[in-house]
Structure 1
Amino acid sequence: MDELFTYLLQFGSLNQQQLDLIASKTTTLLLPKDAYFLEAGHVARHVGFLLEGVMRICYYNNKGDEITRNFVDEQHLVADLRGLEYSLPSPEYVQAVTDCRLLLFSKRDWDDLAHTIVGWSEMVHKMTAKHLREKLARISPMVAQDATTRYQEFIENYPRMANRIPLSYLASFLGITQSSLSRIRKNIR
C-alpha cells in the first residue's frame, strides 16, 4: 500500500483519514502472465495500480497484425480512464507480460473517491497528464530515429523493463520485425 500512497502523494496532499479511505477501497489482484486485464470491445470496470510486473497495451491493425502500443511497469496506473468515465468499449487489450500483482479499484469505488476526497479529480487529471507526457517522451523520438537508435534508447531509458519483455512484443513496439531486432541486438553486443 505504501507504493500506492507514494505515487498518489506526487499529485496532491492527502491526510491519514483520506489514505485510510483509499486503502479500504482496494483489493489485490494477481494476474498471471498472458492474462488480460482488459479486452478490446469490453467496457473498463476497474482501475489498477501495478505493484509487480509488466503489462502491455496492444491492438490489432486492419491487416490483423498485433501491435504493441505501450508498456506499463510498476508504480503506474493501469486503466482505460476515458472508457471508464464514459462507459465506452476499449479499442485495445491490456495484457500481463509477466505475472502481475495489482491493487484494484472498482469503478464504483473510484467514483466514490472523487465524490468524497476534495481535490481527487484534480489529482486524477495530474496523473493522466503525467502518463501522457511519459507516453509522448517514449513514442515521439521513435518517429525520426532508425531502428537501432530506437532499441538503444529503449534499453537505456527502460533497463528494468527490457529484460522482462518478449522480443516479439518489443519488436512490435519499436515498429520492426523480430528478425530485425535480433540482428540489431547481435550487432550491438
Structure 2
Amino acid sequence: MDEFLAYLLQFSLLNQQQLDFIASKATSLSLRKDAYLLEAGQVPRQVGFVLEGVIRICYYDNKGDEITRNFIDEHRLATDLRALEYGLASSEYLQAVTDCRLLVFAKREWEELAHTIVGWNDIMNRITAQHLREKLARISPMMAQDATTRYVEFLENYPRLANRIPLSYLASFLGITQSSLSRIRKQLR
C-alpha cells in the first residue's frame, strides 16, 4: 500500500486521514502469468495498481493478429479508464506477462474515493496527463524510426522490461515480426 500512497503523493498533497481512507478501500490481488485482469468485451469493474510484475495491453486487429499496445510495470495504474468511467465494454485485454501482485479498487470503491476526497479527480487527471505524455513520447518517434532504432530505444527507455517480456510480445509492440527482432538482436551482439 505504501507504494500506491507514495505514487499518489507525487501528484497532490493528501493528509493522513485521506491516505488512511484510500488504504481502507484497496484489496490485494495476485495474478498468475498469462491470466487476465480484463478481457475485451468486459466492462471494467476495478482499477489495479501494479506492485510487482508486468501486464501488457493487447488487442486483435481486423486480420485477427494479436497486437501488443503497451506494457504496464510496477507503480502504474492498470485498467481501461475510459471504459470504466463510461461503463463501456473494453476493446482490449490486460494480461499478466509475469506473475503479478496488485492493489485493486472495485469500481464502487474508486467512485467513493472521487466523491469523498476533495481533488481526487484532479489527481486522476494529472496521472492521466502524465501517462499520455509518456505514451506520446514513446510512440511519436517510433513512427519514423527503423526497426533497429525502435528496439535500441526500447532497451534504453525500458531496461527493466527487456528481460521480463517474451520476444513475441516485444516484437508485436515494436511493430515487427519475431524473426526480424531475432535478426536485429543477433546483429547488435
What interval of TM-score do these two structures reach, taking the shorter chain for normalisation? over 0.9
Aligned mates of 2:86, 2:167 — CA distance in 1: 35
> What secondary structure is seen at the aligned counterpart in 1 of 2:168?
helix
Q: Which residue in the other structure is 1:36 paired with?
A: 36
Give per-residue Cα distances to partners, 1:134-155, cap 9 Å, x unaligned.
1111111110000000000000
Provide the residue aligned with 2:48 in structure 1. Answer: 48
User: Partners of 1:60 and 1:132 in 2: how far apart?
Assistant: 22
SS at match of 1:154: helix
- Which aligned segments of 4 or more residues in structure 1 are displaced greater than 4 angstroms? none
Q: Which runs of 5+ in 1 are unaligned?
A: none
Matched residues, number = 189
For 1:64-94, what per-residue CA distance to the aligned partner results, in whole angstroms no more than 9, with x for missing partners? Answer: 0000000010000001111111100001000
Match of 2:2 in 1: 2
TM-score (norm 2): 0.99
Distance 1:54 1:131 in 2: 16
- Deviation by residue 1:11-44 (Cα, 9 ceiling, x = unmatched): 1110000000000000000000000000001000
**Distance in 2, Cα, partners of 1:25 & 1:138:** 33
Q: Residue 51 of structure 1 aligns to a residue in which SS?
A: strand
What is residue 178 of structure 2 aligned with on the other side? 178
Which residue pairs with 2:88 in the alignment? 88
* Structure-2 residue corresponding to 1:161: 161
Partner Cα distance (1:101, 1:139) in 2 = 27
CA distance in 2, matches of 1:56, 1:70: 6
**2-side partners of 1:55 and 1:86: how far apart?**
23
Structure 2 gaps, min length 5: none
Structure 2 partner of 1:107: 107
1:6 positional shift: 1.0
Q: CA RMSD in A?
A: 0.5
